[in-house]
Structure 1
């Protein structure tokens, strides 16, 4: 056993002792910083309702990050990690490359939120609590994580997930997060102002378009043809009186 191994076991033991401490998440993140570099982090709970933030990295002036507030207020609905957790929640380490849609970097969500808030890459350790809830620790970086860094985090993430699961019982007010209108309700409220409201299938297509899915990905997810996707997209633009994906994002963002 090497000195680094001994230091790891000592640190994990200290974290177990501090499971009920207010600074648990900070101590956990500081331990991870010894093994890989990252620039931002957030611990949150995903469910069918608004995500619950348990702890987050502070800004330089100690104030809440307005970009992150936008995320909580509704932009999370376009987050590839949130979408993946709702579609097929699972334990373990998840990389941005694993969940990002084909056209993710072409979306306004990427340009106006992700690139400014996360910058380059993101890793997320998921702990599936039950069929509806996923406890997550996300690590954002201004540089791409290297294969060696990903491999190391993958090696130690079972320890991290175990600590996260045990920590959850000490968190308070998790059920206090009130349900918020879904993206369907937000877009529907806007479409109601026109003479032709969006159909439920058009809502599905609109969400997938905003999240960065290509026509092929949308067709696969909804089990329809690419031509049908094109027809739905044309109807969406006509009904909302818009001409581009950027205008569709503006409609969604203003509805939040």
Structure 2
């Protein structure tokens, strides 16, 4: 008989998972406890936890991917393309902490971008939630929860459930990994972001470089025009000129050239 003091079954699971998470702080079993509490908010197939310091390459703290998936989403990603990641961009642009679906943060043409094809489609990720946890003025943890091909896309209710316990999750993550390493020097912080900003320098005009950056991030012609406050026709002209100067004819070639630039020597 329920006398009004008993928790519903799901609430009891949350309490148990929260207790387990707190107990595992400082141990190697913390990622499993984190995965367990997150799985009460939504179902997912894989979890990656990364730490970002300024514009420096991310540090992988945990991942449960197979060898091929890890090579693409951890190793190649950290070589420079992470600078185009909507989750990383959200952190750098002052997004509020919390859980977000990929579609909540990505430009409207992102799902047709070469970045999406190079990462998400290649390893059959159908959708992603990012849990953004700040750890100081210019440091973030991102917990990436992915569903693989043919799985149902994440719904708004999924992020609402995760955000309901975000304070607990974020506090535990900061306790576990918050002092993982010393911040990098300013010259290092700026180096990788500068590399992205200088793509096309000496070949493209400043406006052409801006448009190329937006294309790489997944913006369509209309969204790039709106972002820059110029006409769509002007964007098309600049894009045509940029492609011609770079000796390319497609977004795939642009992405390949940009990733080589990012991964190249300083």
Counterpart position of 1:199: 205
Do residues 218 (structure 1) and 224 (structure 2) align?
A: yes
Counterpart position of 1:87: 93
Spell out the pairing of 1:133-152 with structure 2 (5 A cutoff): 133-142=139-148, 143=151, 144-152=153-161
Equivalent position to 2:133, from 111, 127, 141? 127
> Is the 8 Å Cα contact of residues 46 and 64 (structure 2) preserved in structure 1?
yes
C-alpha distance 199-101 of structure 1, shift in aligned 2 (>3 A)? same
1:87, 1:115 → 2: CA distance? 26
2:218, 2:55 → 1: CA distance? 21
Do residues 227 (structure 1) and 237 (structure 2) align?
A: no
SS in 1 for 2:122: helix
2:240, 2:137 → 1: CA distance? 35
Equivalent position to 1:66, from 71, 78, 97? 71
Spell out the pairing of 1:1-256 with structure 2 (5 A cutoff): 1-46=7-52, 47-59=54-66, 65-68=70-73, 69-117=75-123, 119-142=125-148, 143=151, 144-172=153-181, 175=184, 179=189, 181-182=191-192, 185=195, 188=198, 191=200, 197-255=203-261, 256=263
1:15, 1:223 → 2: CA distance? 47
1:200, 1:184 → 2: CA distance? 14
SS in 1 for 2:233: helix
- 1:73 Cα offset (Å): 0.8
1:141, 1:13 → 2: CA distance? 26
2:115, 2:254 → 1: CA distance? 11
* Unpaired runs of at least 5, structure 1: none
SS in 1 for 2:47: strand
* Unpaired runs of at least 5, structure 2: 1-6
Scaled by the length of structure 1, the TM-score of the pair is: 0.84
- 1:110 Cα offset (Å): 1.1
C-alpha distance 172-187 of structure 1, shift in aligned 2 (>3 A)? closer
C-alpha distance 222-134 of structure 1, shift in aligned 2 (>3 A)? farther
RMSD: 2.7
Scaled by the length of structure 2, the TM-score of the pair is: 0.81
The C-alpha deviation readout for 1:136-169, integer Å capped at 9, x for no partner, is: 1110112212444333223222321222233233
- 1:173 Cα offset (Å): 5.8
> Is the 8 Å Cα contact of residues 20 and 170 (structure 1) preserved in structure 2?
no
